[in-house]
């Protein structure tokens, strides 16, 4: 497979659990970092002048265009309670703590604790909650740039509270829109992403093999809304649905399809309209990040308002966040 998009195929091994290890092909390349000949695991493939890079020795920065900024937030709670969402509609994600009763506390992203940023502003309790935090999700329902508060039921039904600034000085609270979607049968399979780059998040059912069915958000089942348009199966899947994530890797406004490995490695397929009438499918970008050691810590967020999502890790106990800024599209 051509994992690094340089035109030549690379050397890959898969273990019994499907974990992939990559040696990038540097037969033709020259320059710093190239390993040629020698002994050990890079040898034994035949030929002379063979040069391979064992990506297990390298950091995220070495394999793709990611700029590591170090600790970006000191953390405020265990990672299981942390949500990264745009609470104020300014284009970057904020740091939020979701409580067991759905209560929400937000630290506004003012540039974070790295790279000359202005830290985080504690906005305090912005929502009192609706009863069960395990059902709460965040998505931009109305396309105004900030994330709204969603309660997702066991059958996939959705109730939405529109974000009108939250319960803070100068804010206008939350407007209940009621039941905006009746659901499709299994709430555990439901996720949200912007499939068609219109600024509104759409309703997605993700299958066990990574297959994807999409309902476009046309305003939902509310007064003045135009419901949801079923696009059917837009992606056949790439293997294991539990490893599938979505992020805008290229900053074009729609979310792309990611396989996140156990060590945090990322394989990406660019959303070119998906497998729909008029769509141009999915473009494989190959291996776009080698990972940082633990895929369970990885989150995606746009930290710098440039339209593409960045790579972050959260420490399990403290919620401390480290950041690698996405430079793939730059």
User: Which band of pLDDT confidence, cut at 50, 70 and 90, is reported for residue 9?
Assistant: confident
SS3 per residue for 231-294: EEEEECCCCCHHHEEEECCCCCCCCEEEEECCCCCEEEEEEEEECCCCCCEEEEEEEEECCCCC
Average pLDDT, integer, range 140-158: 98
Q: What's the pLDDT at 330?
A: 73
- Please report, rounded to a whole number, the percentage of residues in the chain having pLDDT higher than 70: 81
How many angstroms separate the CA atoms of 164 and 173, rounded? Answer: 5
Top-ranked range on mean pLDDT: pick from 19-23, 31-35, 261-265: 261-265
Q: What is the pLDDT of residues 54-101, one digit of tens each?
A: 445 445 654 447 999 999 999 999 999 999 999 999 999 999 999 999
DSSP three-state, residue 309: coil
Task: Report the mean per-residue pLDDT for the chain.
Answer: 87
Task: Give Cα 90 distance to the centre of its chain.
Answer: 18
Contact 285, 270 (CB under 8 A): yes
């Amino acid at each position: 497979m051509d994992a690094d998009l340089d035109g030549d195929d690379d050397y890959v091994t898969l273990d019994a659990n499907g974990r992939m290890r990559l040696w990038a092909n540097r037969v033709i390349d020259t320059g710093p970092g190239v390993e040629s000949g020698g002994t050990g695991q890079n040898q034994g493939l035949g030929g002379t002048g063979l040069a391979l890079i064992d990506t297990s020795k390298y950091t995220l920065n070495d394999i793709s265009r990611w700029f590591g900024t170090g600790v970006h937030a000191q953390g405020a709670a265990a990672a299981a309670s942390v949500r990264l969402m745009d609470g104020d509609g300014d284009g970057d994600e904020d740091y939020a703590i979701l409580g067991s009763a759905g209560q929400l506390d937000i630290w506004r992203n003012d540039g974070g604790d790295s790279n000359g940023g202005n830290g985080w502003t504690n906005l305090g309790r912005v929502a009192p909650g609706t009863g069960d935090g395990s059902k709460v999700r965040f998505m931009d329902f109305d396309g105004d740039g900030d994330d709204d508060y969603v309660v997702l039921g066991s059958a996939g039904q959705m109730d939405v509270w529109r974000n009108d600034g939250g319960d803070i000085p100068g804010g206008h609270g939350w407007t209940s829109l009621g039941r905006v979607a009746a659901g499709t049968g299994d709430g555990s399979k439901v996720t949200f992403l912007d499939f068609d780059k219109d600024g509104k998040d759409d309703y997605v059912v993700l299958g066990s093999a990574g297959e994807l069915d999409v309902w476009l958000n046309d305003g939902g089942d509310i007064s003045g809304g135009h419901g949801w348009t079923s696009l059917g199966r837009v992606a056949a899947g790439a293997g294991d649905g539990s490893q599938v994530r979505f992020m805008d890797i290229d900053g074009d406004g729609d979310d792309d399809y990611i396989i996140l490995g156990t060590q945090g490695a990322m394989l990406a397929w660019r959303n070119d309209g998906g497998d729909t009438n008029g769509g141009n499918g999915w473009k494989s970008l190959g291996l776009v990040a080698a990972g940082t050691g633990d895929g369970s810590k990885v989150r995606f967020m746009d930290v710098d308002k440039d339209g593409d999502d960045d790579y972050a890790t959260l420490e399990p106990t403290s919620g401390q966040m480290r950041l690698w800024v996405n430079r793939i599209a730059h």
